[in-house]
Amino acid sequence: MILHVDLAWILEVTERAVPGDPAPIDYGVAIAAVERHRAVVTGQDVYDGPIARAAALTHTLGRLPWLEHSNLRVAVAVAHGYLTASGVQVRLDQERVTALATALTRPRATVADIATVLRTWRT
């Protein structure tokens, strides 16, 4: 099963993840994340599998400022929510969350880097 999420799903995760519901300052970033995780080129998925798609969502939402605050927290929540909804069993703890946040703040972080971190979340 390939799970594709939409802007409403991302906004719902944001609302649940962050008390005070930060206002989006650039909806285009969230829309780009939606389109990126479902990208297809010459009939092939650009991001194959739930971890790669979660990484694409997370990379976009965590690297580009789109909320007035809490971008990294929302990126973590989106990664967790997407993997869980895709049937991937994950275990989160402070170490894993910190590893993802650290990866997202590296200037040259790639989707592959984020996927590597997300693989450590599997149980």
Rounded mean pLDDT of the chain?
Answer: 96
Q: Is a pLDDT exceeding 90 seen at residue 22? A: no
CATH code matching the domain that covers 7-119, chosen among 3.30.230.10, 1.10.3720.10, 3.40.50.720, 1.20.120.1870? 1.20.120.1870
What's the whole-model pTM score? Answer: 0.95
Q: Is a pLDDT exceeding 80 seen at residue 39? A: yes
Mean pLDDT of 63-75: 96
CA-closest candidate to residue 93, choices 63, 123, 69, 50: 123
Q: How far apart are CA 48 and CA 40, in angstroms?
A: 10
Q: Is a pLDDT exceeding 90 seen at residue 6? A: yes
Q: How far apart are CA 46 and CA 84, in angstroms?
A: 21
Q: Is a pLDDT exceeding 90 seen at residue 111? A: yes
For the chain, count helices (H), then strands (E).
Answer: 6, 2
Q: Are 116 and 96 in contact (CB under 8 A)?
A: no
Percent of the chain's residues with pLDDT above 90: 95
Residue ranges per domain, the chain?
7-119
Q: Are 30 and 93 in contact (CB under 8 A)?
A: no
- Give the model's confidence band at 1: pLDDT under 50 very low, under 70 low, under 90 confident, else very high: confident
